[in-house]
């Protein structure tokens, strides 16, 4: 989508201008560079695409995880739903934290604004709700460009965690996730799902989905998994 390309360019220009006055001692920050991948679930089962207050809560949480990243950290934003790269090209953004290209607070503000605006963009037809939920396929694709031996990584999914694809169907209180054949995220820090079972309104389903994704994340090589229904 051109709108996001334009916003990304404007952000880069703004960040570059601000870089001249960024304190030099930022490079002495105690934290180390890391990768943050944010995936937005555009499937119709995900309440985030229609619930503006909840989208705002997710946006704030995501922003807090990006703000303060060390220089040379990488931030990526993607969307997922159907198994169709064309359908998911609308939300694509990549940045590397550095004084003259992108400050972490600017990147956090930008990513948060995109996440918070998803319901409006869907309602306006600028983003299209999708009729499948290929979470595993998305994670598999992102693993191909993620090397936790180079940079520690956290993957954040704004999703209800209900896989609905040819691989598995976790809806209707049934189904199991197929375990990954290899540890594609070996050494990566954390898989986070914000909105787990949101909209189902059943704590038993929240726990079932948390158990499924905990096992999957461990088999995939993540050090830990966090699945939050609300916070």
- Where do the structural domains in the chain lie, given as residue ranges? 32-228
The angle subtended at Cα 148 by Cα 103 and Cα 223, nearest 5°, is 105
β-sheet with 74-80: strand ranges across: 92-96, 74-80, 35-41, 153-158, 190-194, 224-228
Calpha distance 136→167 (Å, rounded): 8
pLDDT recorded at residue 86: 74
pLDDT recorded at residue 185: 97
Query: Which segments of the chain have a pLDDT < 50?
Result: 1-30
Question: pTM score, two decimals?
Answer: 0.86
Helices (H), 124-202: 135-143
pLDDT recorded at residue 212: 97
pLDDT recorded at residue 3: 42
pLDDT recorded at residue 48: 96
Architecture of domain 32-228: 3-Layer(aba) Sandwich (3.40)
CB-based contacts of 59-64 (< 8 A; 24+ apart in sequence): 59/111, 59/112, 59/113, 59/114, 59/115, 59/116, 60/112, 61/194, 61/231, 62/38, 62/108, 62/111, 62/112, 62/115, 62/156, 62/158, 62/194, 63/108, 63/109, 63/111, 63/112, 64/108
């Amino acid at each position: 989508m051109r709108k996001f390309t334009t916003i990304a360019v404007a952000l880069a220009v703004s960040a570059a201008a601000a870089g001249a006055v960024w304190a030099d001692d930022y490079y002495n920050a105690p934290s180390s560079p890391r990768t943050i991948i944010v995936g937005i679930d555009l499937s119709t089962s995900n309440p985030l695409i229609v619930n503006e207050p909840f989208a705002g809560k997710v946006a704030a949480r995501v922003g807090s995880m990006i703000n303060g990243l060390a220089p040379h950290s990488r931030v990526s934003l993607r969307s997922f739903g159907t198994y169709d790269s064309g359908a998911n090209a609308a939300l694509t953004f990549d940045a590397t934290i550095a004084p003259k290209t992108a400050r972490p607070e600017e990147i956090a503000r930008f990513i948060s604004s995109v996440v918070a605006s998803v319901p409006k963009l869907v309602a306006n037809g600028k983003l299209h709700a999708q009729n499948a939920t290929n979470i595993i396929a998305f994670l598999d694709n992102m693993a191909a460009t993620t090397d936790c031996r180079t940079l520690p990584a956290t993957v954040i999914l704004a999703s209800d965690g209900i896989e609905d694809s040819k691989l598995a169907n976790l809806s209707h209180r049934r189904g199991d996730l197929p375990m990954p054949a290899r540890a594609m995220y070996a050494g990566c820090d954390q898989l986070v799902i914000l909105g787990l079972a949101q909209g189902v309104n059943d704590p038993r389903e929240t726990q079932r989905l948390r158990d499924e994704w905990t096992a999957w994340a461990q088999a995939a090589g993540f050090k830990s998994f966090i699945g939050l229904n609300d916070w």
